[in-house]
Amino acid sequence: MSEQQIAKQLSLWEQGPMERELQARGERKESFATPSGIEVKRLYTPLDLEQAGQDYNRDLGYPGQFPFTRGKDPLGYRANHWLFMQYAGFGDAAEANKRYRYLLAHGGTGISIALDLPTQLGLDSDDPLADGEVGRIGVALDSLQDLETVFDGIPLDQPRQISLVANAMSSVGLAMFVALAKKQGVDPAKITLRIQNDILKEFISRGTYIYPPGPSLRLSCDLIEYCARNHPNWLPLTLCGYHLREAGSDAVQEVAISLADGLAYLDEVAERGVDLEKVLPQLSAFMSVNMNFMEEIAKFRVMRRLWARLAKERYGVKDPDKLGLALVNFTAGSSLTAQQPMNNVVRVAIECLAGVLGGCQSLFPCSYDEAFCTPTEESVKLALRTQQIIAHESGLADTIDPLGGSYFLESLTEQIEAKVRELLDETEKQGGAVKCIENQWFRRQIDESAYEWQKKVDAGEQVVVGVNAFTEDVEPAIEIFRPPVEAQQRQINKLKTLRASRDPDLVEAALNKVAAAAREGSNTIPAMVEAVEAYATIGEICGTMAQVFGLYRESGL
């Protein structure tokens, strides 16, 4: 069919009698759009791609090749399925160890360690500020001793990947794994450790920061530099769009702000003289998978493609093979509802499909009961089985990028990329990511997006099944998992015993080295490894650095 014939047919579609009749009865919405505000047409044809100026070789290409639109790996999932991950951890280290063993025994291929709030904030479990939060949303890691217990009977080289969602204290977390690898006698080259380490997004969305943005950026880059020089197969930075999305951003903001943060890290590392061609293959992006199926898939394509293009444009990377960005996709906790919680099984399955069709390397499905509690073993197993069914029964893993070439998908990809570039240009005008954090410009963008979304839900324009439509006046019957109440006291007792048994002079000397490295501007990781090996606690190490860097408080708080 010629271009003129397609245009004529489209005109008939848009002006047909059924269209007019539906509109007259008020049964046709005036407009359709994605959550990011991109208009959705009723029908897409090759004309949409021609009008966008899309060139196959330039904009799509082939999997495993620049610009990686169609995927990072040339063999897709034929070589390996994505990593079947579950974000898990609660109570003390012994309780967490049981959960990780359970997941591995049921087919999990990686371990993702959830830390409790005090650990994320660099506080020991017996700190007064930690009371009531120890072991609640993750496992308490006060010292190397706790990590030893977490991996009791689990060699570090057994899981295909170990993931640590640590940000403000990620440097200490890395030091713990370096020390544990030595104690287990495992070759670090046989371990794949991924540390989130995206501290900048904490200032925008989550708030689990310790030091001001400048020193925080420095510590994150210490970790990146250390891994580039010592552990080239470890993954020292995962840009985190997920928490931006959970805070209320739309898909465009999620990609744009994540990319802006990523460029800030690369700028700092490049200034240190680190070869970016060694760093780039180690990086990944931790992205949310929300419910607008096609927009989410297009978003992942944009994240890979624009990262590759920006890194090449900005830093002149000569080897395009170094520019493939691994995607770590996590289904959206914010999409889960406490009303009719079994509906969440369907939501998670849809989001898992979008994550896989977007070409992820790791996938974390939420459990259906997470709107209520830390997941039960049964709900965690069902989430794992969701991935396994997609991998082994759906046929989607048999070919690479099965939706590639969809007129709708490719048109949406082009439009999202254009909007992301606009937001990135505005970020540059504002002075870059750190400046946009300090003046809270990023925060305002996300807050406005969250407000607009909630208005649509409240008005019924955006249907959420069981919440504002198809509701029931029935209390859900659901098992509530609660971490053991005695876990906090067990953890505190263990900490007291540790302090009484270690060598205090060794601890003091190691902490002095941490302080000296922080003051002098040298890489802090080697000193932290020494402190961890002396069984200094996370509170002591982070407290020592706080004496040098200061503690950060947002203006007005």
pLDDT tens, 304-322? Answer: 999 999 999 999 998 999 9
Q: Which two tokens stand for residue 276?
A: 């970016």
What token pair was written down for 19? 């269209």
The 3-state secondary structure of 48-80, one letter per residue: HHHHCCCCHHHHHCCCCCCCCCCCCCCCHHHCC
Q: Give the model confidence (pLDDT) of 156-176 as tens digits.
A: 998 888 888 888 999 999 999
The amino acid sitting at 59 is: D
Q: What is the pLDDT of residues 178-190, one digit of tens each?
A: 999 999 999 998 9
Find tokens 């909630």 and name the residue.
454
Asked if pLDDT for residue 9 goes beyond 90, the answer is no
Nearest Cα neighbor of 364 from 210, 197, 238 is 238
Residue 407 has what pLDDT? Answer: 97
Instruction: Determine how many CB atoms are found less than 10 A away from the CB of residue 150.
Output: 23
**For residues 5-33, average pLDDT:** 65
Instruction: Give tens-digit pLDDT for 322-333.
Output: 999 999 999 999
Q: How confident is the model at residue 22 (pLDDT cuts 50, 70, 90)?
A: low
Residue 99's nearest CA partner among 488, 492, 381 is: 381
What is the distance between the alpha carbons of residues 267 and 255, in angstroms, rounded to a whole number? 18
Q: Which of 529, 422, 431 is nearest to 213 (CA)?
A: 431
Query: Above 90 in pLDDT, residue 8?
Result: no
Give CA–CA dist 531/525, Å, rounded.
Answer: 10
* Parallel, antiparallel or unpaired: strands 87-88 and 283-289: unpaired
pLDDT at res. 52: 85
Q: CA-CA distance, 48 to 45, in Å (whole number)?
A: 6
- CA terminus-to-terminus distance, the chain: 63
Q: Mean pLDDT over residues 110-136, rounded?
A: 91
C-alpha span between 136 and 143 (Å, rounded): 18
Give the C-alpha separation, 372 to 89, whole Å.
16
Q: Kindly report, residue by residue over 219-236, the tens digit of the pLDDT.
A: 999 999 999 999 988 999
**pLDDT tens readout for residues 233-271:** 899 999 999 999 999 999 999 999 999 999 999 999 999
Asked if the model's pLDDT at residue 15 lies above 60, the reply is: no
**Is the Cβ–Cβ distance between 356 and 398 less than 8 Å?**
no
pLDDT of residue 371: 84
* Whether 433 contacts 261, CB under 8 Å: yes
Predicted confidence (pLDDT) at residue 478 exceeds the cutoff of 80: no
Phi, psi of 115 (to 5 degrees): -100, 145
Displacement of CA 468 from its chain's centroid (Å) = 29
Sorted by where each starts, the structural domains of the chain and their CATH numbers stand as: 56-459 (3.20.20.240)
Enclosing H/E stretch for 504: helix 504-520
Element (H, E) at 112: strand 110-113
Q: What angle do CA 501, 505, 511 make, to 5 degrees?
A: 105
The Cα–Cα gap between 534 and 271 comes to 32
Q: Which residue has the higher pLDDT, 556 or 302?
A: 302
> Which tokens belong to 102?
């359970």
Q: For residues 487 and 92, what is the distance between their CA atoms, to the nearest angstrom?
A: 6
Confidence of residue 557 (pLDDT cuts 50, 70, 90): very low
Judge whether 185 and 218 are in contact, CB under 8 Å: no
Lowest-confidence pick of 97-111, 134-148, 509-523? 97-111
Q: In Å, how far are 123, 190, 201, 483, 517 from 207, measured between CA atoms?
A: 15, 34, 8, 24, 26
% residues pLDDT > 90 (the chain): 74
What mean pLDDT is reported for the chain?
Answer: 91
Reported residue count of the chain is 557
Within 13 Å, how many C-alpha atoms sit on residue 264's CB side? 27
Residue 388, pLDDT score: 95
Find residue 91's DSSP bridge partners.
Answer: none
Coil, helix or strand at residue 122: coil
What local confidence, expressed as pLDDT, does residue 264 receive? Answer: 96
Residue (of 323, 387, 325) closest to 355 by Cα position:
387
Q: 170-184 and 525-533 helices cross at what angle (nearest 10)?
A: 60
Query: 156: which 2 tokens?
Result: 């570090």
The torsion angles phi and psi of 521, rounded to 5 degrees, stand at: 85, 5
pLDDT in the model for residue 81: 92
Kindly report, residue by residue over 429-473, the tens digit of the pLDDT. Answer: 999 999 999 999 999 999 999 999 999 999 999 999 999 999 998
Q: Is omega for the bond preceding 67 within 30 degrees of 0, making it cis? A: yes
Whether 556 has a pLDDT exceeding 60, the answer reads no
pLDDT 10s digits, 81-92: 998 876 666 668
Contact by Cβ (8 Å): 132, 498: no
